[in-house]
Amino acid sequence: MSDVTAMKYRIGDALLHVTECGSGPQAWVFLHYFGGSGRAWTQVAALLADRWRCVMPDLRGFGNSDTVTDSYSVNDAADEVLALVSALAIERFGLVGHSMGGKIALVAAARQPPGLSHLMLLAPSPPTPEPIEASERACLLACQTSRTAACRAARKSCGQPLPHALVQQVIDDRLRTSPAAWRWWLASGSCESVQDRIAQISVPVQVLSGMLDTNIPTAVIKREVMTRLPQARLRLLPGCGHLPPLEAPQAVAQALRDMAL
């Protein structure tokens, strides 16, 4: 893997922690899942850094970035992503959003930012309110800091067992998520509807769905995402659950290579 750098950038009223590797005329900007961090993309970026600049921010409230404000929204998160692209002087880029990051990427792409060339969504939180059972939402709100619950969730999210080190990464990222960001996504962000904006997306879109995903199953992707993005192509990942960047990094990297051709 090429040299990896990590820096903090002042974006609006927050410091965002950003990891980068690779170089090239085009960048991939990777947006991680709820309870994760930019390092979820490390394996994927390592496979692409020979040709592309790979930018992996910790979204606000996650990883090593500053926490969210009381009035934070998906719109604010998209603003920060595009402001970061500008701050890094990225002229041409593809957006890659996973789960929570997928919903944020949809809103950012709908702005038709200069230089955006592709949009890749992995197990995305849909543009409609994410269908989470009220009892499950309440349980998640109550048990963020429980290591036992985090361990159970990490294993449940995967179609096949992950190496121990990656399971620990998933657990640790969840436990270091700011309580305000945890509450924001579960009580507000995941409930937002952004479907009225996504008709403005004008770049090629591909959606990846793990066939063993029980968090946002393929049936939900087909019903809530694909019907609202008629230009999008769906690619299924056999044997994969809700964490493709960790479970199937080679397949994700290959899908990005294929898309960029």
- 156 burial type by CB count under 10 A (0-12 exposed, 13-18 middle, 19+ buried): exposed
Tokens (6 digits) for 22:
């690779």
Q: What confidence score (pLDDT) does residue 215 get?
A: 96
Residue 115 has pLDDT above 60, yes or no: yes
The candidate with the shortest Cα–Cα distance to 62, out of 150, 183, 168, is 183
Nearest in space to 32 (alpha carbons), one of 165, 137, 124: 124
Q: Does the domain at residues 4-260 carry the CATH identifier 3.40.50.1820?
A: yes
Asked if the model's pLDDT at residue 236 lies above 90, the reply is yes
Q: Sheet harboring 93-98: ordered strands across?
A: 4-11, 14-21, 53-57, 27-31, 93-98, 116-122, 205-210, 233-237
65-110 pLDDT, tens digit per residue, is 999 999 999 999 999 999 999 999 999 999 999 999 999 999 999 9
Q: What distance lies between CA 54 and its chain's CA centroid?
A: 14
DSSP class per residue in 186-244? HHTGGG---TTTGGG--S-EEEEEETT-SSS-HHHIIIIIGGG-TT-EEEEETT--S-H
Indicate the domain borders of the chain.
4-260
Mean model confidence pLDDT for the chain: 96
Decide if 170 contacts 157 (C-beta within 8 A): yes
As beta bridge partners, residue 118 has 94
| Closest to 121 measured CA to CA, from 137, 140, 101 | 101
In this prediction, residues 43-58 reach a mean pLDDT of 98
Per-residue model confidence (pLDDT) at position 261: 75
Say what angle helices 179-187 and 134-142 make with each other, to 10 degrees: 170
Count of beta carbons in the 10 Å neighbourhood of residue 84: 18
Contact 54, 28 (CB under 8 A): yes
Residue 1 has pLDDT above 70, yes or no: no
Instruction: Determine contact, residues 72/14, Cβ cutoff 8 Å.
Output: no
Direct distance between the N- and C-terminal alpha carbons of the chain, in angstroms, rounded to an integer: 22
Percent of the chain past pLDDT 90, that is, above it, reads: 98
User: What is the mean pLDDT of the segment spanning 28-34?
Assistant: 99
Please report, for residues 90, 114, 155, 243, the alpha-carbon distance to residue 93 in angstroms, rounded to integers and kept in the order given. Answer: 7, 9, 33, 23
Question: What does the pLDDT average to over 188-203?
Answer: 96
Q: Which residues contact 242 (CB under 8 A, 6 or more apart)?
A: 33, 99, 123, 157, 158, 210, 213, 214, 215, 216
Structure pTM? 0.97
Please report which confidence band the pLDDT of residue 209 belongs to, taking 50, 70 and 90 as the band edges. Answer: very high
pLDDT, average across residues 241-254: 98
